[in-house]
Every structure is written in C-alpha cells, then in structure tokens.
Amino acid sequence: MTGSAPREPIARLYTFEQMNLQVGTRLQFITHRTLKPVQHFSTVVGWVKDEYLIVRIPVEQGTPIGLYEGDKLTLRVFSGVNVCTFSTVAERIFGRPLFYVHLTFPDEIFGTSLRTAMRVKVDLPAQLKMANGDEHAGLLANLSVSGALLESAQPLPPVKEAVDVQFTLVTEPDKRQVTVMARASIRNVSAVEPTAGTPGKYGYGLQFIDLDPSYYLMLQNLTYQALIGDRQKIV
C-alpha cells in the first residue's frame, strides 16, 4: 500500500455507447453561472440519440435549482470503470410538476479510467479476525478496490495466513449502511514513533483477496465520489 502519489488520469475520447448511460443513472450536474462552477447531482430520464438528453433538474434543500434555457453545463457520469465528462447546453426547461430539462446531445465525451491503486482517505473503525480466531480493532485510514491501510495503536501478532477484515460503508445516494466482510493478506507493516501529544501507531497494508463483486462496486463508487466531489481525499 506504499508508493508515490497517484498521477492524474489521462483523458481520451469516448463514444456515447461507451459511456454506458442508463435511465436512472446518477450524474454530476455542474453549472457555470458563477465565477466558480457549482456542483449538483441529478439522474438521467432518457435521451433521443443525436438530438437531446433528458435529465432531472437538481434539487437543493427541497427546491429545484435555478436553471435557464441557454445555460452552459458540464455533466459527469460513472460508467462502471470510467468517469466520463461532456459539455452541454440547457435547451428547454420543464417546470412543476415535472422538473426536468432537455439538454443538447454531447458532441465530445472525454473519459478517464479509475486506476486500481487510487486510494481514498477514510476514518472507519474496523475489526480484524486472525486465522486462530483472535480479533483486533483498528481504524482504516484509506481504502481502494484492491486493499486498505489499517492503523492500530497496538502491534498485531505476526501472521502468514489470510485474515478477515470487517468495516461499515455508507452507500450513496440513500445513505444505507452496509457491513463489508473481506479476506485480505497483510502485505507490509510500518510503525510511527510517538511524539509529544501524539501516540505511536502501527500501519498494516492489506490486500483484498477475491473481493465480492458487490463490495468491489461499492469501493469503486467511493473512489468515484471522491474523484468528482472531493479530490483532497485521493491519496
């Protein structure tokens, strides 16, 4: 789990079909009416190929955002393995009770792959269960689809066998709590010496083994949310 900081993903042109857009897909809806772009979230209603897209007008605190015909927008969508981005313009606004908008069909779509090694900063309580049944508590400091960094105030006993790690994730957009249970191997160990006012701790690099596909998708979505919402969480 050690290494240099991740490089910026390289963008390339995608076709509309490669975006794997589905009715109900959640997307990032970025307006440019102020000096700083403002991010909202919306969902796809439908589209007519090469003519227009239909998406819901984002709602903030129970009220649809202000949107006008001719507004320039940027949309981002997670295709499953890629983040796709394209520019569009609001063509026609449909207000109450529908609250959706027709957007110009994208001319150019740029996509970047989510790298396996991309990790997201977290602070999640976790339980580690050894092969002999012993259990140890710790905190996950970062997560990726391939593994995690577990921090512990106490050193773990040396182990060669795989361990079980358990933690809870909050899924988007419904804020549902899901308990993740995964097999992992301890790939490396590090120690931080205590300083004045700061206790020492031990770091354990975990590599997931045959991660359940549903958990893989959740961790992939976690990376995606950080990538488009709060890049400071990417390590």
For the chain, list the domains and their CATH numbers: 12-113 (2.30.110.10), 120-233 (2.40.10.220)
CB 91 within 8 A of CB 205: no
221: pLDDT confidence band, cut at 50, 70 and 90? confident
- pLDDT at residue 228, as a whole number: 62
Q: Please provide residue 107's backbone torsions phi and psi, each rounded to the nearest 5 degrees.
A: -85, -40
* 228: enclosing H helix or E strand: helix 213-229
Give the residue with greater pLDDT, 167 vs 115.
Answer: 167
- pLDDT at residue 12, as a whole number: 85
In the predicted model, is pLDDT for residue 168 greater than 50?
A: yes
Percent of the chain with pLDDT over 90: 47
104: pLDDT confidence band, cut at 50, 70 and 90? very high
Cα dihedral 220, 222, 223, 229 sign: positive
CB 59 within 8 A of CB 99: yes
In the predicted model, is pLDDT for residue 79 greater than 80?
A: no
In the predicted model, is pLDDT for residue 6 greater than 50?
A: no
CB 29 within 8 A of CB 73: yes
CB 214 within 8 A of CB 169: no
How many C-alpha atoms does 224 have within 13 Å on its Cβ side?
Answer: 25
Pick the closest to residue 28 from 3, 6, 49, 55 (CA basis). 55
- pLDDT at residue 3, as a whole number: 40
